Amino acid sequence: AQRVTQPEKLLSVFKGAPVELKCNYSYSGSPELFWYVQYSRQRLQLLLRHISRESIKGFTADLNKGETSFHLKKPFAQEEDSAMYYCALRKTEQGNLIFGKGTKLSVKP
């Protein structure tokens, strides 16, 4: 069965420190991977997707098929990055998103 695992419920770092939010997935095919973010009192929104291979708000994520991982990274965390981050997988043959349980990132001043 398809599954997305985010091992950290909470990640706390200081402003300016590097941050890495881990995501591992299980899927036998070629998935699409996404990171969604939810800031306080805001709706869930797309942060980035692996097929775009772009950097959004300084965040990047590389799909590693060998390790079945899609970790989210940022070299210098900012206080405004504090939010819930969800990794999600979509099987290529249908549109449903399968989400991980989320990681709460707290960036301290």
Partner 1 sequence: EAGVVQSPRYKIIEKKQPVAFWCNPISGHNTLYWYRQNLGQGPELLIRYENEEAVDDSQLPKDRFSAERLKGVDSTLKIQPAELGDSAVYLCASSQPVNTEAFFGQGTRLTVV
Per CB under 8 A, residues contacting partner 1 are 4, 9, 32, 43-46, 49, 86, 88, 90, 92, 94-102
Residue 80: φ, ψ to 5°: -70, -5
List the one residue out of 16, 19, 52, 18 whose CA is nearest residue 33.
52
List the one residue out of 72, 80, 73 whose CA is nearest residue 107.
80
**Shortest distance, position 99 Cβ to partner 1, whole Å:** 3
**Shortest distance, position 102 Cβ to partner 1, whole Å:** 5
**Shortest distance, position 31 Cβ to partner 1, whole Å:** 12
